[in-house]
Chain A
């Protein structure tokens, strides 16, 4: 089975611009989560999508948004980029969350975003 793929792998943007990152989950996985990883804060949860609906959202400003398509592929968007948005953005997919069970997450390689 192919793993989680993320595009692009590297991105350089300037302050004030906006960016869209893409994630393709493992086939059959309907849950997609996004995380931001920085040296200072570690891995922080951005949001989770399941069946095209945002199910959970982390503590990030409204400049961060996302969506999920009917084929489970997901995109996240950051508008009005700030220097502090420079980070590794990771996407993870997992099996549908049912019956109160938690499943392991499978991460993609990430998109390294640099804001100058």
Chain B
């Protein structure tokens, strides 16, 4: 069955460093990959969408890569700030389907 894996352990980094989060998938051929941020008690917030034919996408301090050969996406936050502390979710969807399949998320903790 299809599987989306994100590191279940929290990632602790210092302010100013680059945070790198990983999303691996198996038994899946996504056409789109999205990253969301979720704060406690709130709904996820969309951050970035990358298509299967795109290798990299950037938005301000955020960068996402998508390697369909490795079946992996990397999500980078440069110059991280304590306000970036949250759970980050990756979500996949197939071509022709709008339904998102989510990973369980990785908690990021940025200390001052």
Tell me the A residues contacting B by CB distance below 8 Å.
4, 31, 33, 35, 42-45, 48, 55-56, 58, 90, 92, 94, 97, 100, 102-110
User: B interface, by DSSP: helix, strand, loop or mixed?
Assistant: loop
A97 to B97, CA, bound (A): 8
B-side interface size class: 20 to 34
B46 touches A43 (CB 8 A): no
Closest to A95 in B: B98
The answer to whether residues A48 and B45 also contact, given A42-B103, A43-B89, A102-B93 and a CB cut-off of 8 A, is: no
Which of B41, B49, B95, B97 is within 8 Å of A56, CB to CB?
Answer: B97
- The answer to whether B32 has its CB under 8 Å from any CB of chain A is yes
Which of A44, A45, A58, A105 has the largest number of chain B CB atoms within 10 A? A105
The answer to whether residues A108 and B99 also contact, given A42-B105, A43-B89, A102-B49 and a CB cut-off of 8 A, is: no
The answer to whether residues A45 and B100 also contact, given A102-B49, A104-B34 and a CB cut-off of 8 A, is: yes
Tell me the B residues contacting A by CB distance below 8 Å.
31-32, 34, 36, 41-46, 49, 89, 91, 93, 95-105
Give min CB distance, A37 to chain B, whole Å: 9
Add 11 more A-B contacts to A42-B103, A90-B44, A104-B46 (CB < 8 A).
A33-B98, A44-B102, A45-B99, A45-B101, A56-B97, A58-B99, A100-B96, A102-B31, A102-B93, A105-B44, A105-B100
B99 touches A43 (CB 8 A): no
The answer to whether residues A108 and B93 also contact, given A56-B98, A102-B98 and a CB cut-off of 8 A, is: no
The answer to whether residues A102 and B32 also contact, given A42-B105, A56-B99 and a CB cut-off of 8 A, is: yes
Q: B46 — which chain A residues lie within 8 A by C-beta?
A: 104-106
> How many interface contacts (CB-CB < 8 Å) are there between A and B?
62
Give min CB distance, B50 to chain A, whole Å: 11
Give min CB distance, A27 to chain B, whole Å: 17
B98 touches A31 (CB 8 A): yes
A19 to B36, CA, bound (A): 28
Q: A102 — which chain B residues lie within 8 A by C-beta?
A: 31-32, 34, 49, 93, 97-98
